[in-house]
Amino acid sequence: MDTTKTKITLAGGCFWGVEELFRKEPGVLKTEVGYSGGQTNNPTYETVKTGETGHAEAIEVTVDLSETSYEEIFRFFFSIHDPTTLNRQGNDRGSQYRSAIFYRNEEEKQAAQKVIAEIKDQNRWKGEIVTEIVPFDAFYSAEDFHQDYLQKHPGGYTCHFQRYKP
């Protein structure tokens, strides 16, 4: 088994835009959109959009850590969404659009905390960073319709763009 390949699960608002930006990053091998962070098993878009499942729209990024690092992934993550808006990105509102990092190990958790401290020190964002750093529990793949959505529908809705160079 190749120990340089790992999965990182992030939530930063509508998963379409997050996925589209991550797919182009160095070291990213695969992206998949889905749901994470809630208490409902096997959620669907229809249940998650109610805000009652506890899940966030999330992206699972498979990366090669010989080509990138947790820190580089997190720096990019914070540059493409607003981590100061609680349960909101762009026009999307609700806990399913919260900002979160679902860490799988202590190294990933510490990298997330380090990057948050860096962006605070650099005054990248004016408000308080509300991104949750929480243990990973499960990732449920979203419906096929949502996978690679902006590839299938160029010009589709997204509120994500790179706000600064990390």
Which one is catalytic: 14, 18, 73, 142?
14
Identify the CA nearest to 100 among candidates 119, 90, 85, 114.
85
161 exposed, middle or buried (CB, 10 Å; 0-12, 13-18, 19+)?
exposed
Separation CA 73–CA 27 (nearest Å): 9
* 159 is annotated as an active-site residue: no
Q: Annotated catalytic sites, by residue? A: 14
